A and B are shown apart, each in its own frame.
Chain A
């Protein structure tokens, strides 16, 4: 029983982290309807920033997530201004391929500058700290990251649902032209959405360096899983993304433990296929 509880807890904590990574993508996807291929690479950039801040300046990830969140907000806004805003339009392919180009660019730039080696921060405040509840071991960095993710998701949910800015974002997502006619600067909303999407992965990436290694390929898998979560939850739905992320985290942990570690991602991708066969617009899609 303890083993089962342990596996479930690990799965849920992983799921909470996935939720924060996917929330940014869900927002971009829901509002602008583009597949943002460089999302995973944004996560990698955030992790490198947090790593170098910790390694060179001794800043702990508990603090440096602020820096990586701000930096990724700016990077997202810059990417929108320079690339995305110039190729969004009728067809879905140009922005998709442009963000794929951006992901190749970022991944290989980091590969070139920082080498493909795995790097991990030593002696962070939370690293290796665990405590026991009943017979279950809880890792402090994972727990802190998980709770923090939930708080950030709550804040994002509040922003979208309850503030005037959030209403403007929702209006833009529903109908860009109509929103424009109502006096909303939709271009600025897009810029902001891209920045916010970047800030979400920036914060997630900043926190993750307290217990995960960073390398140029780290973003690829997270990015792919974020796609699955967003599509599974239904586009643009933040609570859908949270539910889907928890499901994916659980499936990954259970399949990894009870079937075989190599099958955990096979199970994750298979569960997506099964769900969309039954509900072709995701769990919470309309």
Chain B
């Protein structure tokens, strides 16, 4: 039997998931409301950011190309439903496997590049995919894929009456991805990833195959990002290339994680809990000021955060913990 590393934060984690699972029982909280929409998006974006965190946070390979994997997942589900008239489930699997394959194929040569050259290469890959999908008739071209009207339920993974189904779908995705990352973090692969991040040469001298470790992280990360893409297309009933494969979508993965705390288990959730409600509510309530105001505010917040605390919200929390430890030590007169 594999050894379980139960810690107090795992119990906290279990309690959080249980509390979230019971949320729909509170009348009027989920239903078909805007609030439900925001909660679902928080869970979805936290999951997306966590999938990015595997390769960019734990393994230190900053990727701006994750919208490619997200998009492949979205197209997997979209094409299963629209092009082939199936349920989305085989599409989720096919899209995720395909995304992992594509990730390994394009990362293998790119991992030779360092620093900014790697980052620019990932931008270039996003643009190539975006433009190819725009003209590729088999995947619907620039018009994208529009869902037909389907009966509600888990078989088709669509719900039009209420958002409770989507809420549980998002929660399942969230638990799956955070669970996998928690498992990786406390097991061999997680230690390898952090070793490669802290010093590739040192890790290699101790017998870690750094290329294999980075490729494994990329494949896991792409697989999970593609699952999120599949959920995203089901939730929006349509997909086209700019929605899922663009630099802006890639930056979502990056921003949420960095604002929460990169390379940290809770970072993606914290980032999503703050950014997504802010963005959705400012979009809904500031329309009187004209279009784009939400993104103007978003831009300002990113700048302020980078000036004040580049480590993100986890940075604030760590600074606060360090201060309270110091105070406790001072009280004891040490």
Contact = CB atoms under 8 A, between A and B. Distances in A.
B273 to A, nearest CB: 19
Given A98-B307, A100-B251, A112 B123 contact: no
Contact of B113 (A98, A104, A266, A280): A280
Contacts of B125: 269, 273
Contact of A35 (B116, B135, B291, B296): B116
Given A92-B116, A108-B293, A109-B296, A101 B302 contact: yes
A269 B128 contact: yes
Interface string A258-286: 00001101100110110011001110000
A243 interface: no
Given A220-B247, A266-B127, 15 more contacts: A83-B306, A95-B306, A98-B307, A101-B306, A105-B299, A108-B293, A111-B291, A112-B292, A231-B116, A231-B120, A265-B131, A272-B120, A272-B124, A280-B114, A281-B117
A276 B110 CA distance: 9
12 contacts: A83-B306, A87-B306, A94-B310, A97-B255, A98-B303, A101-B306, A105-B296, A105-B303, A112-B290, A112-B296, A273-B124, A282-B117
A101 B307 CA distance: 11
Interface string B76-97: 0000000000000000000000
Given A228-B124, A266-B132, A93 B258 contact: yes
Nearest to B259: A97
Closest 5 CB pairs of A and B: A101-B302, A105-B299, A104-B299, A108-B292, A94-B310
Contacts of A105: 295-296, 299-300, 303
Nearest to A267: B128
A64 interface: no
Nearest to A38: B299
A91 B128 contact: no
Contacts of B12: none
B148 interface: no
Nearest to A221: B127
A227 interface: yes
A97 to B, nearest CB: 5
A98 B117 contact: no
Interface centre among A94, A95, A106, A220 (most CB of B within 10 A): A94
Interface residues of B, number: 42
A188 interface: no
A159 interface: no
B149 interface: no
A142 interface: no
A104 B117 contact: no
Contacts of B119: 35
B134 A101 contact: no
B62 interface: yes
B293 A266 contact: no
B3 interface: no
Interface string B299-330: 11111001100100000000000000000000
A101 B114 contact: no
Q: Is the interface of B mostly helix, strand, loop or mixed?
A: helix
A103 B292 CA distance: 13
Interface string A72-93: 0000000000010011010111
B254 to A, nearest CB: 7
A87 B289 contact: no
Given A97-B254, A111-B292, A102 B120 contact: no
B296 A93 contact: no
Interface in A217-240: 220, 224, 227-228, 231, 235
B28 interface: no
B247 A276 contact: no
Given A83-B303, A105-B303, A112-B289, A276 B254 contact: no
A87 B310 contact: yes
A106 B298 CA distance: 11
Contacts of B293: 108, 112
B109 interface: yes
A108 B296 contact: yes
B213 interface: no
A225 B128 CA distance: 13
Contacts of B132: 266
B115 interface: yes
A262 B130 CA distance: 11
A231 B122 CA distance: 13
A265 B302 contact: no
B181 to A, nearest CB: 20
A83 B310 CA distance: 12
Nearest to B106: A273
Contacts of B301: 101
Contacts of A35: 116, 119-120
A273 B113 CA distance: 10
A226 B113 CA distance: 19
Contacts of B299: 101-106, 108
B295 A104 contact: yes
A262 B292 contact: no
A91 to B, nearest CB: 7
Interface string B233-273: 00000000000000100010011001000100000000000
B331 interface: no
Interface in B52-83: 62
